A and B are shown apart, each in its own frame.
Chain A
Amino acid sequence: MPPRVQNQLVTNTLLPYLSSSSTSTSTISKIPTQCSSSSITSTSRRTCRPFSSTVASQTKLRNEMFTWLNGEGAALKNHIPGSTNYLTQIKERDEQPVGRTRPFPLNQNFVSESILSEELRNEIYDRVVNQKKSVRAVSVDLGVDMRRVGAVVRLVELEKRQKQQGKSLALPYARAIHEMVPTTPLYEDTRDNRNRPHESINDLPVHKLTDPQIFYPVSESRQFNRVDAGRVFSAAPALENKQVNDAADPAEAVSRITQNPSHIEKVGKGEAEQQVLQPADARIPHPHLVAHERFRQSRPTEYREIFKAYNERLRQEETAEKERKRLAKERQDQQLTKVQPESSRFEFRFKDVVVSKETTGTDGRGSKAPGLRYGVPSYERKKGQVKIPTRVEV
């Protein structure tokens, strides 16, 4: 294929680096090209190769591209701060500058999600770190997922440390991005943040056990609810005597589960042992919100009462969580002995393990036994071993 020579005038202000060297400099005075001296003659064939007899024109598509870039596409060169700069909005750009969130004209199902604005981000950090509110409470109040709240706190902390160390931040970049993508503002009345949340905060994660479709015949006379469905999914035997008070106060039943997760019944033997799948009301991130809503329905006018009950419920949830964490840490510390010898730079951490028939198994190859195992091939260096995590445990 012969080298493609441009012999057509290309004026492109949007992508100046795209225009080839043969473009006339008379229109783009800013960009010096190598043929600037020869173009003074302004012959009919504007080319750097005056002796070449080859007439090679640009392809049609390329021509059209430059036409578009100089025509209607030129509108996208500079973004309007505070509105998105998407291809789909060229026509209605001037009429309705905000509220366009679909970047791809041929994929109307793709919606670009908004990001946290700078103020909302700082508010989250302030509430968690300075006001010592729990992640759960902040998540509900500002309508941001609990994991995102945690991430925001860590990242703001990191940013502060970088500032302290005098490292440079990519502030112009951040500013430009915030101008161009949709953002969730911090409303003046922060109750609005709760009413118009950044994202859905109470999504039920899909549990692996619920994947199979199970045909489970139940007699009509029997009550079959979510708890029973969970037991069927995890192949646990049906409950003999139903706890009647569960139906009387479902909120209490759910909080009993969420506040003592270690009391959840287990089924299966040995390696296959797992907890019985709990009803959806207990597995969502904020079970107390369901209880709150139920309470509100029953007492529509007693605002103060509702508010008080909500705070009480939140407090209970938080204390249970704190207690659980404390116990876990205590248990871990109990198993761990830390020794700091004077003669060494290092600390030695001794963990207690158990060597017994239960851990090593009858053949001595049990996976619970301490140490690397004998007679069990290690596939560590084998081809095709996936070592990066392939899924996230929620």
Chain B
Amino acid sequence: MVVRIRLARFGNKHQPFYNIVVAQARSARNSKPLEVIGTYNPIPQRPTNLSDEEARSARPYKEVSLDRSRAKYWIGVGAQPSDGVWRLLSLAGIGDGRTKTKN
């Protein structure tokens, strides 16, 4: 059985919010995972408290919280990130950085 790092959906209708979890691949999406290593809020937040010049160039941001050392550990012992989590992890500089290729 494969251990995966994947997203578990929380939040309400039209308000997605994800836990980044480490879980057995065949378990249900929101079942109790082995470990919760972070969260991901896919709804873009508007940056506030900026000066006028900053506000022109500022991008809306998405919040990710992540325990890097745990993520590295789980990848080191063979956990496979799902596509979405792979993207997030490579943005965070964990893993080798190249995008995942489908075999």
Contact = CB atoms under 8 A, between A and B. Distances in A.
B66 A349 contact: no
Contacts of B61: 338, 346-349
Contacts of A353: 38, 65-67
A353 B33 CA distance: 18
Interface in A344-394: 345-355, 360, 369-372, 374-375, 380-381
14 contacts: A337-B92, A345-B60, A346-B60, A347-B61, A348-B88, A349-B62, A350-B91, A352-B65, A352-B67, A353-B66, A360-B36, A370-B38, A370-B39, A372-B19
Question: Which of B36, B37, B68 has the largest number of chain A CB atoms within 10 A?
Answer: B36
Interface of B: 10, 12, 17, 19-21, 32-33, 35-39, 44, 58-68, 70, 88, 91-92
Contacts of A169: none
Given A346-B44, A371-B20, A351 B64 contact: yes
Nearest to B63: A349
Given A337-B92, A346-B60, A346-B61, A370 B68 contact: no
Main secondary structure of the interface of A (DSSP, over half): loop
Contacts of B59: 340, 345-347
Contacts of A61: none
A218 interface: no
B61 to A, nearest CB: 4
A341 interface: yes
A351 B91 contact: no
Contacts of A1: none
A375 B39 CA distance: 17
B64 A371 contact: no
Nearest to B21: A371
Interface of A: 337-341, 345-355, 360, 369-372, 374-375, 380-381
A381 B65 CA distance: 25
A339 B60 contact: no
A345 B61 CA distance: 9
Contacts of A370: 19, 36-39, 65, 67
Contacts of A347: 58-62
A381 B91 CA distance: 34
Contacts of A345: 59-60
A352 B64 contact: no
B60 A355 contact: no
A350 B60 contact: no
Contacts of A340: 59
A199 to B, nearest CB: 27
A350 B66 contact: yes
Contacts of B88: 348
A89 to B, nearest CB: 46
A355 B91 contact: no
B70 to A, nearest CB: 5
B39 A372 contact: yes
A348 B36 contact: no
B62 to A, nearest CB: 5
Contacts of B70: 355
A338 B19 CA distance: 20
Given A350-B64, A371-B19, 15 more contacts: A341-B91, A345-B59, A346-B62, A347-B59, A348-B62, A349-B62, A351-B66, A355-B70, A370-B39, A370-B65, A371-B21, A371-B65, A372-B10, A374-B32, A381-B12
